[in-house]
Each structure stands twice: as structure tokens, then as C-alpha cells.
């Protein structure tokens, strides 16, 4: 969803930090862990009602999402466990953030947003799950508008704009994440329809699909 120039801009801003981390041979799993701890700080801020501060910390934690993958590639330390560890903490991080947002809206003039938050959390998990299951079957599945970077930026910016703006963002996340999950289901159907469970995917159906790499997010 993000234009390439925005991705390039983010990488450019973080490139001095990346160079230092690569030079010092900081392990990418350490960065993944630090990013998770920063996310816990964002959750605490939301729980305490500091919504704008929480949004800022969410964006700071998102920087670690970029750094760990970049450092993994440039140091040659990318690994299957690193990919698994990264994805696992990503899921836990999102659940923690959404859970902390429940406390924000339970005590707000918008208690109905609790249900929207549940829907956004469920949609986010289904986006990740559909990709994970597809790739377990050997089918690349990275399509969709609302992947993790978009969700992180949306939550961070929305929270920084205040509780009312975050209501709009959560509503969009709920709808677009669910749409992305459904889109992936149809995409996998198009590739895997009528293929036996233990049978190979026809090569022509996989044509043009970019293979998964260990540093990519959902």
C-alpha cells in the first residue's frame, strides 16, 4: 500500500542507525526484542490514558521493524528462527496494543469502539494467518492493502492525532484488514483450487508471484 518513495524515505532516515548497528554486529534478534519492549511501553501509555504519547511510541517501535530486517540482511545473520521469532513477537505486539486500547475506550464517550477494536485485532490476525497458511502450502501470499507496516503507521499516526481520530483509524483498520484477509483467501483459491493436499501447485499458477524472504512482514 505504501508508495515506494515512502519506503525509500524511511530506509534513508534510518540508514545512519543501520550502519552503526551493522558495524557493531548487533544481532537482529536483539533489535526484535527491543522493538517488542518498546511496544510494551506504548501499551502502558495507552493504558494510562496517554494516547498521543502511545502513538508516538508505536511509531518508534515500528522503526525497529525496519531495522531488524535491514540489519539481518546486511550482516548475513538472517535466519529461519529469526523470521519465526520476529513474526511471533509481531503478533503478540499487536494483541498487546489492541488490548491496551480497550482500556482507552471503555472509559471514553465511545464505548462502542471496543467492538471496533476487537474487529481490527481480529482482522490483523487473519491477515497474518492467511499468509502463514498459504506459505506453509508453498504459495506466496503478500497481496493486500493492510499489511503490518500500514497497520503500525495507521495506529501510531491516529493515536498522535487524538482519541477521536483514532476511532476513525480503528474503523478503517477493521474494514481494510478484513478485506485484505478475504482478498488473500480468494488469491489462494485461485492458485490452489482442485490441487490435492499432497500434490504440487501447478507452476503456471505461481508465475509472477514473488517468493517469501525471511525478513518480510505480513
Instruction: Say how many C-beta atoms besides its own lie within 10 A of residue 136's C-beta.
Output: 8
pLDDT at site 46? 96
Mean pLDDT score, 161-174: 95
How many Å apart are CA 15 and CA 88, to the nearest integer? 25
How far apart CA 173 and CA 97 sit, in angstroms, is 13
Q: Quick one: average pLDDT of 50-69? A: 94
Using 50, 70 and 90 to split pLDDT, how confident is the model at 39?
Answer: very high
Residue 145: is its pLDDT beyond 60? yes
Q: pLDDT: is 28 or 111 the higher one?
A: 28
Give the pLDDT confidence of 13-31 residue by residue, as tens digits: 888 999 999 999 999 999 9
Q: Does domain 11-192 have CATH number 1.20.120.1760?
A: yes
| Range of lowest pLDDT (62-76, 163-177, 188-202) | 188-202
Residue 7, pLDDT > 80, answer no
> Residue 67: pLDDT above 70?
yes
pLDDT at 85: 95
Collect all residues with Cβ–Cβ distance below 8 Å to 80 and sequence separation of at least 6. Answer: 214
Provide mean pLDDT across the span 54-64: 95
Q: Is the pLDDT of residue 211 over 60?
A: no
Strands (E), 46-190: none
Q: Could you tell me what percent of the chain has a pLDDT over 90?
A: 66
Residues whose CB is less than 8 angstroms from the CB of residue 92 and which lie 6 or more positions away in sequence, other chains included = 36
The structural domains of the chain, with segments of one domain joined by +, span 11-192
Amino acid at each position: 500500500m505504501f508508495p515506494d518513495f515512502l519506503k525509500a524515505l524511511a530506509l534513508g532516515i534510518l540508514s545512519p542507525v543501520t550502519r552503526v548497528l551493522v558495524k557493531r554486529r548487533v544481532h537482529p534478534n536483539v533489535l526484535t526484542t527491543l522493538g517488542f519492549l518498546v511496544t510494551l511501553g506504548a501499551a502502558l501509555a495507552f493504558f494510562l490514558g496517554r494516547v498521543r504519547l502511545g502513538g508516538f511510541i508505536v511509531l518508534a517501535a515500528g522503526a525497529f521493524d525496519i531495522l531488524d530486517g535491514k540489519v539481518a540482511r546486511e550482516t548475513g545473520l538472517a535466519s529461519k528462527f529469526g523470521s519465526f521469532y520476529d513474526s511471533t513477537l509481531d503478533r503478540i505486539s499487536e494483541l498487546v496494543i489492541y488490548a491496551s486500547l480497550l482500556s482507552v475506550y471503555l472509559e471514553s464517550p465511545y464505548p462502542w469502539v471496543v467492538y471496533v477494536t476487537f474487529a481490527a485485532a481480529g482482522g490483523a490476525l487473519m491477515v497474518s494467518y492467511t499468509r502463514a497458511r498459504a506459505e506453509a502450502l508453498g504459495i506466496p501470499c503478500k497481496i493486500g492493502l493492510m499489511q503490518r507496516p500500514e497497520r503500525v503507521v495507521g495506529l501510531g499516526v491516529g493515536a498522535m492525532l487524538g482519541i477521536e481520530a483514532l476511532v476513525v483509524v480503528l474503523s478503517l483498520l477493521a474494514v481494510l484488514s478484513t478485506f485484505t484477509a478475504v482478498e488473500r483467501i480468494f488469491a489462494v483459491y485461485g492458485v490452489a483450487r482442485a490441487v490435492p493436499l499432497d500434490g504440487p501447485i501447478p507452476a503456471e499458477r505461481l508465475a509472477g508471484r514473488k517468493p517469501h524472504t525471511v525478513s518480510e512482514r505480513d
